[in-house]
Amino acid sequence: MTAPPPVYVPLVTPYTASGAVAYDALEALARGLLAEGAAGLFALGTTGEPESLEPDERAAVAELVGRVCREAGAYFAVGVGGGRDLGPWPVEPDALLATVPAFVRPGEAGVVAHFTALAARARLPLIVYHVPYRTAQPLSARALRTLAAIPGVTGVKYAVGGIDADTVDLLGDRPAGFDVLAGDDVFAPALLALGATGVVAASAHLDTAAWVRLAATGDRALGHRLAARAAALFREPNPTVIKAALHAEGRIPTADVRLPLLPARPESLAAVAAVAAVGAVDALPPGVRPAVRLGT
């Protein structure tokens, strides 16, 4: 039986009341997500506020998350922003998540040249993080196929803020061995239905088992519920509302974020509560287990 698309969680970075990184809470959160069925974890992605962490904090977070993943036999990726810091890492990741260059808008040819050079320097597989509403750099399906042909580029975290003709084009003729990971939580159920090979969902901090079941079964009603929940969790800049929800559940010690982010407003947390929690889900069908490795 073919393994269902894996669900990966890009971890928040919890803080103590004094503002330090709450490493104990981070470890407990990481272990809990894997126990709920997440196939792996992404450290130092946008959800983890990497630009607000000191270099020693980033290294410690990556080491902790990597250790937890290795002990659990789970997938482990590290966000490297535009690719300035490619390691080495205390625990070697399975892949590096590198963002399409932001602000400079180099054009598709410039993006391809950038990732060609990056892949030549990196010792590890690269996942392209394509999020044009943050980077201001659109990419066509043709450009993404060109990126897929670069040795060492193994996938894309696809977060374009919707579903357009390029989305349908790419997923309708996905390059062999190139993973397309749904990276925009509200649209992730639809992308799975179109053929995405996995999910990287910050909202899967909550309702983790339900996300795993969605990937395994394609349950349309469940997908609608998870999309509605995700919309509530993204009412304010990520990860502010997710942290507020995790704190309300007692899973992290504070809901704090670091500047330039501000804590979520009470009404945003109330909006999450107003969307009925998905709650417990039935066990996956016999013999069906989420995949742990990319490259399907």
* Residues classed as catalytic: 129, 157
Alpha helices per DSSP H over 122-180: 132-135, 141-148, 165-172
End-to-end CA distance of the chain: 14
Cα–Cα dist 279/292, whole Å: 23
What's the one-letter identity of residue 201? A
- The rounded Cα 136 to chain-centroid distance in angstroms is 20
Task: Using alpha carbons, list the distances in angstroms from residue 282 to 153, 210, 213.
Answer: 36, 9, 8
- Residue 233 · residue 202 · CB < 8 Å: yes
DSSP string, 199-264: EE-GGGGSSHHHHHHHHHH--HHHHHHHHHHHHHHTSSSTTHHHHHHHHHTTSSS-----TT--PP
Both tokens of 173, joined, read 């003729």
